[in-house]
Chain A
Amino acid sequence: MSPAARAGVVVAGALAPVAVAAAVGAALHAAAPAEQRAVLAAVVREQLAFLAVAAVLVALLAGLVVAAALRRWATPARRLAADVRVVLDANPDHRATPSGPPELRDLAAALNDLAARYAAARHDVAEHVAAAAADLERERHRLAVLMGTLTVAVLVCAEDGRILLYNAAARALFGDDVGLGRSVFGLLDRDLVVHGLARADAGSTPAEATAEREGRLVRVRLARLPGETGGFVLVCEDATRPGRSAARHVELLESTTDLVRGAAGSIGAAAGALLDYPDVPDEQRRRFLEVIAEEAGRLGEASRRLTAETGADPRAWSVSDISARDLLGAVAARAENARIADVADEVWFSVDSFAVTDALASVVGLLRERHGAGEVVLGAGADGAGRLARVDIGWAGEPLRAGVLERDAAEAAAVVRRHGGELWADAHRPLVRVLLPRSPDEPRPAPPARVEEPPPALYDFELERFQPDPATWSEWETSRLDRLTYTVFDTETTGFSPDEGDEIVSIGAVRIVGGRLLRTETFERLVDPGRGIPRTASAVHGITRDLVRGAPTLDEVLPAFAAFASGSVLVGHNVAFDMAFLAAAQRRTGTVLAAPLLDTLLIDGVVHPDHEGHTLEAMAERLGVDLVGRHTALGDALLTGEIFLRLLPLLAARGVHTLGELRAAAAATAQARTSERLYRRSAP
């Protein structure tokens, strides 16, 4: 109760008895006959001073009584209520101080007991939550350490191919292209993954396949994630291990087989001759019997040797499936001046892909170095040769002479033979043909992709809020803002006028996935503007002409940036400015940043329409974001990203939940009108 209200109550209480007395007097006066009224008026007139003093005294007394009652009852009750509020909303350990009459003291004591129990219960819950969180943190840490120590790359993907988890080895193997929320199909050929998953579904778990990636071979093991939401795990390795012991194993088997067949051939021929020709002369008969005895001894020896030496582990013989295109791609990447033509896409080989790539590349090298082949043409096909398919290596020039290839490329020939294949040079055409075993499993149609439900979170990596890339504009428009993937970016430039020759000198960007700013997934490139950088501009961003010398041009950087941003909403501050600089490069390169575009400046206009400053600095201060690393493209992108994330709940409070709603709201702001004009003028 305010002091004014209190005073009002006290005054009212004080005046009430006087008013009652006056009213009684007035009523008596009105009810009395005329002669008595005159008497009464005379009495009042005579005793006026006395009555006035009495009224004041009564009023004072009544006022004091009311004030005392207020102090004794109402004030302690109100204080008690405030104490309870503090306990509830601010500080559970706060206690009421008992005051006032006994009834209120009892109430305060009872409320204090209740508060104590409430605080204890809260404390218990908090302890349990903290313990559970600590457990989870330990698990996460353990998993992170475990993942980090693995030398194989691990990728956990949702059913639609989005990466939910990757480790350091995956980063090392795939470089910048790997990232949370990105598609695994940017790293590995879609057919290979689909093929591998089909094999996994068919029961051969884990399925293996080999892919070629920028000249290196990557061996991929695939396994399905259990559960209804789908998804899969990929374990990838650089396939640089030729598998020597296994090769020895195969060679041993091979040579023993040949020996056994040879001995059996000799025995069979001698025995057959003896049986077929009963009139064999004695000397010849004796010779045949000697052959049989001798070859029988060799067979026994061969079997002993086989038993003694079969220690090698055939599993190390790392045969896996690789598509003809990938195999030839790997060969072409290893050998200079080789191109691929005529590849039957349905052909998959089942080989130790590294060893075979090596072998084929050495054949190509041999053709060039010793036989003057210029450009070499690689092809592959099946031609109905049963379990084998062919690789053809052709060139312009003379055919090879008989035996030359086998002698000069003995190692390559040995590798091919270990696989049960063969290679030879055609006598009439400049062509080397290599037969290799086909994969027993042909690629099958893709399993149903795209599961609407988000995948399960692995160890609660907070990735359960993923959703597939929206495919159409209407899907974008209805997408919830807190679930979209964003690329927040910024550029530094030589000046403010793209129309007058100013250019970009650096681009920085960071991704927001699942409502989190992924500080490890950033894009930062210096750009050679192809012109001088004014000292005034260098003073702001610190980028000088010397620094960008040798850096790629914007036309080279733009496709990389587009790839980084693919599948996400672009976010920038005063983004029309940046887009004006990017417009010409988009026209020149044909690389279009096709994603929806959001501007934090306009969003601030939506949530703070009455505020004056919509600069990054003003917004950062208003939203409690630290200003660190200003005026580098990446630093500003990070800052913009943090600001953007803090704007999202404010938008939600204003009923803006989807991208479509935000775009509509932003377009209606006063800031949008000037900005749009600028953007329209310079858009591609």
Chain B
Amino acid sequence: MARILICDDEPNIVVSLEFLMRRQGHEVRSVGDGDAALAAVTEFEPDLVLLDLMLPGRDGYEVCQTLRADGFRRKIVMLTAKGREAEITKGFAVGADDYVTKPFGTQELVARVQQLLGAGP
């Protein structure tokens, strides 16, 4: 059981992500923009952040880079429709642990999250 923060402004993906994470027994919180994500990290202290890149205000890269600059050491998974080489390179460069592109397989996502949490099946 871990704490998962979902940061995505698209409710239709959040509903599935929340369901999938809860079904693994995790505690889940969801936010819809970058500022809320930064606040939620401080308050909620998640073990893993599922982070979309296209967010209103601060985008996912900035949130990730800011979190790392502020000393956040837990896992960050980029979960995004942006899947080009340059974007993936940048994602890892700003501090992501994994990069999952939409659309993705639900089982694959779950597996990667569990692996990162060190509690894989």
Report the interface size for chain B: residues with CB under 8 A from the other chain. 39
A433 close to chain B: CB less than 8 A: yes
Known contacts A262-B10, A265-B103, A265-B104; decide if A422 and B90 are in contact (CB<8 Å).
Answer: yes
List of B residues within 8 angstroms of A273 by Cβ: 16, 19-20, 23, 106
Contact of B54 among A258, A268, A284, A420 (CB under 8 A): A258
What CA separation (Å) do A421 and B82 show in the bound complex? Answer: 12
**Are B104 and A435 in touch, CB under 8 angstroms?**
no
Known contacts A269-B13, A276-B107, A422-B89; decide if A403 and B66 are in contact (CB<8 Å).
Answer: yes
- Stretch touching chain A among B25-33, B40-48, B56-64, B112-120: B56-64
What CA separation (Å) do A426 and B107 show in the bound complex? Answer: 34
B17 close to chain A: CB less than 8 A: yes
Known contacts A386-B85, A402-B69, A424-B61; decide if A291 and B16 are in contact (CB<8 Å).
Answer: yes
A387 close to chain B: CB less than 8 A: yes
The 8 A CB mask of A282-295 against B (1 = contact, 0 = none) is 00100110010011
Shortest B13–chain A CB gap in Å is: 4
Interface size bucket, A side?
Answer: 35 or more
**Are B65 and A272 in touch, CB under 8 angstroms?**
no
Q: Which of A407-435 contact B (CB under 8 A)?
A: 417, 420-424, 426-427, 433, 435
**Are B93 and A284 in touch, CB under 8 angstroms?**
no
What CA separation (Å) do A388 and B87 show in the bound complex? Answer: 11
Contact of A269 among B20, B66, B84, B85 (CB under 8 A): B20
Contact of B89 among A267, A295, A385, A406 (CB under 8 A): A385
- B17, closest chain A residue (CB): A269
What CA separation (Å) do A176 and B1 show in the bound complex? Answer: 76
List of B residues within 8 angstroms of A424 by Cβ: 61, 65, 90, 93-94
List of A residues within 8 angstroms of B101 by Cβ: 261
**Are A295 and B87 in touch, CB under 8 angstroms?**
no
Q: Which of A255-277 contact B (CB under 8 A)?
A: 257-262, 264-270, 272-273, 275-277
A401 close to chain B: CB less than 8 A: yes
Contact of A427 among B58, B68, B82 (CB under 8 A): B68
Contact of B106 among A260, A268, A406 (CB under 8 A): A268
- A258, closest chain B residue (CB): B81
- A265, closest chain B residue (CB): B102
What CA separation (Å) do A422 and B93 show in the bound complex? Answer: 11
What CA separation (Å) do A127 and B48 show in the bound complex? Answer: 94
Contact of B87 among A269, A270, A287, A422 (CB under 8 A): A422
What 8 pairs between A and B have smallest CB-CB spacing?
A265-B102, A272-B106, A403-B62, A402-B65, A269-B16, A261-B81, A264-B103, A422-B86
